[in-house]
Structures are given as structure tokens and as C-alpha cells.
Amino acid sequence: MTENPGMRISVPVSIAPMMDWTDTHCRYFMRLLSPSALLYTEMVTAAAIVHGDSDRFLRFNAEEHPIALQLGGSDPGWMAEATAQAASYDYDEININVGCPSYRVQSGQFGACLMASPDVVAECVVAMRKETDIPVTVKSRIGIDERNDYAFLRSFIEPVAAAGCRRFVVHARTAILEGLSPKENRTVPPLNYERVYQLKRDYPELEIIINGGLASIEQVDEVLKFVDGAMIGRQAYHQPYFLAELERHFDPQWAMPSRGQVVEKMVPYVDRQLASGTSLNSVTRHMLGLFAGRPGARAWRRYISEHAHRDGAGSEVLINALNAMPAAA
């Protein structure tokens, strides 16, 4: 099958795939805050899908649409098979991880180190597009280690685009694979937005999404003057209500819920998850930042942190925490 190039998000915002963070509970919560943003799964390795419990890794709530599956891998056969298995789950996009600098990712020969092997990534794109009619996209950095000039970035983009990838999500930092931890790689290498803007100028036929350091509506508006979309990372997790503010910014007619209303909307979901055997903390840990910057934010975090892990804890923890908040929150 060939890719359908027409799927575009109505709001030019997406939420980055973040390991240990953007699981299905986090995404359900974020969807209440932004009906339109494209959500990404945590990275899942193709090998885990092909050789493991694929349903565990691939299932998600229907409410999470639009949603992209991020795959990690470098074997075209495995990537194609993982894509084929994902086809029945109705994802809106499948993304190849060529941006993660973590040591465990490098040892598996995928992530940012693959920027040095664009032909391998291109082979994966070709193989995957044969198994799906949804977009196969790529998330990368602007460079790796000392290979961080614009010529290197172009040498990666061109063969992958020629293989059929039309959407690139580019984290505007170089990945330092030797000498920096994954956490340091998110902040220490300097941002170079202009490098990503240049990509869009040189390849106007491609859809270019920028990622890295975006933490305000003003920043998002500025980058969207030069590229097609903005991907939000840590800001969306630590201050999730920012997503609602972004949604309202792009869709002034949207009835933006209050933080309290978001909590109330989460209660039925929490009850369903508890009934299926999920622990309360597995859901509520993603909600700790909901009141960030508001009166009572510390009390909200503390109450949930102290009560959500207790035996028998239920959705009343959320209601009690909410009731303890100042009225102005």
C-alpha cells in the first residue's frame, strides 16, 4: 500500500513521544486538555511487537485520536512486520525514532545514531509504506556529535524523503552520543531553530515539524512563521494545562474546560481503569502538574502523592484533592 499524504492535524501542535511518560493514561488525560493535538506513544521497539505481546504495546483508547505510533528499530523486515501488526489498531501515523540519544537505544542500533545511516532509514520507510496507507514519518535531531552542519542534515533528509517520507519532526539540537546523558541531551546542546527553518525553505514540499524548548504560546507562534508544526515536549507534561491554552489559542471557539472540570472528567476513566486492575498511581502520576503555577498546586501534588499509592485508593483521591484546592484555582 502507499501512503495517504492528506492527513494533517487541524491544530499545528503535537505532543512529543516521551519514554515512561506518554503512556495511554497520560494520552487520555492530555486529550481532555487538547482535542486536536497529535499525540505520540512512547517509543516501542519493532522487536517487542514482532516477538512479544503486541497487543500490550499497541492498544490504546479510541478517545486518543489523532495518535501516532513511534517505532524504534533498524531492520526493515522487523519494522515492516511491526507496521503490519499495527495496521489493525487504526493509528493515524507511524513514526520512526531517529532522535533518541539514550545508551540503550544506541546499543540496539536505532535512535539518533541512525542519522549516520540514512540509507537504512530509507529502506525502513520503503518497507513500512508497503504495509500501511497512513503516513510513515521520521523524528530526528539536526545532527550527531561532530557531524552537525547543515550539509550533514541534508544528507540525511534527502534519501529518506526520496523513499517516501513527507513529514519530518526535527528536534533542533545536535545529539551528543558520547559524553552526555539522555537528560543532558535535552538541554545542553544549544537550540538551532534556524537550521530547521532552512530545511523548510529548501524543501518546501516536505512537512517540517520543529521540536525543542517550546514553552510558550509566543514561541509556538514564532516558529510557525517558518515551519508547518510545533511539537511540545516536557512543557506539556510538567504544565499540562498549557495544552488547553494552546488549543484555545488556535481555536477560540473551543469551550476550554477549567482544571477542576478536567479532574472531574478523569474520574470515570480512573474508575474503569481500577476495575480492570490498573493501579491508581499509574493514572494520577500524569496529573500532578495540572495546577502548576496556581494557588494550591503544592497541596494538590502532595495529597495525590501521599494517597494514590495506598491499598484500596480510588477516584475519591482526585475528588478529595480537588476539594482541598482554593476556589481560585
Instruction: Report the domain count for the chain.
Output: 2
Of the pLDDT bands very low, low, confident and very high (cuts 50, 70, 90), residue 327 is: low
Domain boundary residue, one of 229, 250, 271: 250
- Mean pLDDT taken over the chain: 93
The active-site residue out of 26, 100, 113, 124 is 100
Q: Are 92 and 7 in contact (CB under 8 A)?
A: yes
Report, as an integer, the average pLDDT of 240-266.
97
Of 103-117, 121-135, 280-294, 307-321, the least confident: 103-117
What is the predicted pLDDT for the residue at 109? 77
Q: Are 289 and 259 in contact (CB under 8 A)?
A: no
Query: What distance separates the 2 farthest-apart alpha carbons in the chain?
Result: 58
Q: Is residue 162 part of a domain?
A: yes
Q: Tell me if residue 124 is catalytic.
A: no
The CATH number of the domain holding residue 314 is: 1.20.120.1460
H-type alpha helices, 91-240 = 103-107, 118-129, 150-162, 182-185, 193-202, 217-223, 234-238
The CA-CA-CA angle for residues 68, 283, 306, to 5°, reads 150
110 and 173 both lie in a single domain: yes
Q: Is residue 3 part of a domain?
A: no
Report, as an integer, the average pLDDT of 31-56.
96
Domain that holds residue 220: 13-250
pLDDT tens, residue by residue, 151-170: 999 999 999 999 999 999 99
Q: Is residue 264 part of a domain?
A: yes
Tell whether the model's pLDDT for residue 9 goes beyond 70.
no
Of the pLDDT bands very low, low, confident and very high (cuts 50, 70, 90), residue 8 is: very low
Of the pLDDT bands very low, low, confident and very high (cuts 50, 70, 90), residue 211 is: very high
pTM here is 0.93
Give the Cα separation of 162 and 126 in Å (integer).
10
pLDDT tens, residue by residue, 90-133: 999 999 999 988 755 555 578 999 999 999 999 999 999 999 99
CA 249 to chain centre: 20
What is the predicted pLDDT for the residue at 307? 97
